[in-house]
């Protein structure tokens, strides 16, 4: 019974210590100005302007379904539609697949 009590006491102290460290980190971040989301008018949550935030949106690869940042994706224009791929391999597979469907009618 004594072992279980010591283990429970240890877990409780670990939880209290981790909570304290997290709270201290948030307090220091707030004091340094990192935690204020509305520091300047016209900024988005992380301090960037709306134009910068729109460049950080995620797009879905139509071939494999992976979500990738728009600025890191490989764009491909098909007609009037812009498609974004996670890699050249997915883009090439998509092109081969569409050619196959076009050939089969």
Highest mean pLDDT among 9-13, 26-30, 80-84: 9-13
**Helix (H) / strand (E) containing 81:** strand 81-85
Report how far residue 76's alpha carbon sits from residue 93's, in angstroms, rounded to the nearest whole number.
Answer: 12
Exposure on the CB side of residue 87, measured as CA atoms within 13 A: 6
Tens of pLDDT, residues 46-61: 555 555 555 578 899 9
Model pTM score: 0.45
Highest mean pLDDT among 12-26, 33-47, 55-69: 12-26
- Residue positions counted in the chain: 105
Give me the residue label for tokens 């050249």.
Answer: 88
């Amino acid at each position: 019974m004594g072992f279980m009590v010591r283990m429970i006491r240890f877990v409780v102290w670990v939880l209290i210590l981790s909570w304290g460290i997290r709270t201290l980190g948030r307090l220091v971040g707030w004091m340094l100005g990192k935690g204020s989301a509305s520091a300047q008018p016209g900024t988005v949550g992380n301090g960037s302007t709306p134009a910068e935030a729109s460049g950080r949106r995620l797009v879905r690869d139509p071939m494999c379904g992976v979500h990738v940042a728009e600025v890191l994706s490989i764009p491909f224009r098909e007609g009037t539609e812009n498609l974004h791929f996670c890699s050249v391999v997915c883009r090439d597979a998509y092109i081969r697949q569409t050619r196959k469907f076009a050939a089969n009618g």
